[in-house]
Structure 1
Amino acid sequence: MHHLRRAELATITRLRGPRRRASSELPLALTARNAKIAVVHDWCPNFRGGERVLARICKLFPNAEVFTLFDFLPKDVKQQYFEDVAFHASAANRLPLVQRYYRSLFFLCPFLIEQFDVTGYDAVISSSAAFARGVLTRPDQPHLCYVHSPIRYAWDEQFSYLEQGHLGFGPKGLLFRYMLHKLRTWDTRTAHGPDLMLANSSYVRSRIGRIYGRQAEVVYPPVALDELEFVAGKDDYYVTASFLAPYKRTDLVIQAFNEMPDRRLVIVGEGQQSQSLRAMARSNIVFTGYLPRRDYVRTVAKAKAMVFGGCEDFGIALAEAQACGTPLIAFGRGGACDIVQPFGETEDPTGILFERQSMASLKAAVELFEENQPAITPQACRANAARFSEERFDLAILKALAATLAMHVSR
């Protein structure tokens, strides 16, 4: 990068120094150069896993500014996690009642993301599960992309989403299929924009390789271990916690526990399926709705196990449960395979992985857990969660950005 100041070049040299440099020194080395970082994030409808990653990146770079298509974060969340961080939202964020239908504007999002002018910043970090990666940058501008997932509904889960939306091959269905085709074309074209890609799990890394033909290093999302209460003495209930969307497969968990009436299940979260899921649940299943952070952590920490039936790209709620000392019973695909130390395969197991998204497979996993519960200790779960610490995430991001900067210096 020919126009970097001497101080910036010195920072790169320090960052590429001995591997044993303490992680606490690396953030100081980078922030001391007063770098301006544009952090581009798809959208901020609420504060979930992707926004936690965004918050950590902003904390790591004090002069970062956020560019996002839609910003619906409450003021208290901004004050707690994004103090003094400037947010720039797209023009569509000002549309009347847009919070109700912003997801339906996906066909406009490639155009909208390209309207952000980030060319005046020292570097760009995109936090992308869909569109952020397509932001327009200068040819000599470092661009690091943290990939939460390739666009789910445009690629491998297109048919599932179309089925859930009752979109067949009528006029509306054909229109949606064509728009998804155009989105895939744009997505493929922009896949080679970033200098370096990071994947949030091994599962996402494999999808990046298959869809985009690019290699990516796995950097797990950050888990705030200090915020998560460790509870060794568990209560007599299971918990599942997520945004209640179809791909989370909370319906599968409910179906299984409907047939296990002697076992209690607590469901934390809200979403588009809230009403239909409540209607199908029997009396041994309780819905809490959305819980404040402290109550959420306490509920997860006291559960005998967290049950999850979906395929997550990573699943930060699963890693947080481990930090609370809570074992996992999860579908054995996606990020759960990175998080869980499976029973029967490791010396210190932290949960059970079941093979099929079926009621029978999930019920068998619950029974296997109860038969071997003493072998899956809360202490092992907490120790396992240390692999996902915030400090480890910070160090990985700093090293990746240093490598991205070095690519431009060497050109």
Structure 2
Amino acid sequence: MKKLTDTYLRALRAKARPYKSTRDGGLYVVVMPTGSKLWRFGYSFSGREKQISLGPYPDVPLALARERRDEARRLLAAGIDPSAERREARAAVAAATINTFEAVAREWLAKQRHLARATHDKARIMLEQMAFPWIGGRPIGEITAPELLAVVRRVEERGRIETAQRLKQRCGQIFRYAIATGRAERDPSADLRGALATAKVRHRAAITEPDRFAKLLRDLDGYSGSFVVACALRLAPLLFVRPGELRHAEWSEIDLSAAEWRIPASKMKMRTEHVVPLSEQAVAILRELQPLTGHGLDLRPDAPRYVFPSSRSRLRPMSENTVNAALRGLGYSKEQATGHGFRATASTLLHELGWRSDVIERQLAHQERNAIKRAYDRSQHLPERRKLMQFWADHCGALKSNTAKPGLLRAA
């Protein structure tokens, strides 16, 4: 019988069917019809004939193949099946792979269906750019507090203190999910308390003085840019919804006859449908805009018809920076006014004008913090909110024309 040598192995030629070469202590090569040569080790365990693969020749040279065979023999001598040992090793590698921080984080992300799309995307991008490159491949149960601190500090050292805090919070949510699913025993983010700089609380800029707000309203009416943007600027203070909700508005959600806009739960921060009663002034603005963006659009039937489409494509909503950019063009800095600031303006002035807080908060789509009260408070206060929205539009008009008087428009 010929010995296994490189000369012998190189001389082996393919045939119509696979065949085996000579054996060397259980080691042999299977020659495939394609010409490839695959190492095998044949052995007997518990009365059964078995084999394991040792790799392809010549990628795995003869000497290495013999080393792998000898290792398998040592396992057999110890009463261990080399095939079973290999399966367990592969299972361990697979388990380590699904238990990495990145794998658990992506699994956690997939379950966060309650998050608004923009919030979900921000969380994913934050993890992909700021955490995965450094700890993504680490088994989540082995990550220590110093390791996590090093990741968060990279963000903090770039001056992004708030982002560093948010990253720590997201990582903490992922670690707690890992604990709940049996892949970690503790949350190292809890040990970082006090280790990071604390960001100063920054409130979004808002004008809450009636005289200054009146000037802003007059300036908004004088905006000379795009008609679509002009309508958005006039509606924003009347509706005081979140900027993302305004720019994603679709005509299919708006019933001008009923004077209401129903924002689907999928677009709301708290994932609950929100009804926005429309004042006479808001309906008038929308009726003026509807011929431009609501009719005659060359779009497929299932395409969204945005109330405020992008100037580049009607298939996309207006950019998130459009309203703020228009405010800058009107001379208002980001420290003076923002699209989101209209919410604070309406809340502050309506409270001062005597409106009930629960009605205002419901119109702002703020969720009741008390879980028990939230569960039993089924009322949406719609009748009161319809009165509130019309009152607010009338009050804004009075402010613009300098006819508003303390107490005259005060809510009953």
Q: Which has the higher helix share?
A: 2
Question: Larger C-alpha radius of gyration, 1 or 2?
Answer: 2
* Fold conserved between structures, TM > 0.5: no
Structure with higher strand content: 1
User: TM (normalized to structure 2)?
Assistant: 0.29
Structure number with higher relative contact order (C-alpha < 8 Å, ≥ 6 residues apart): 1
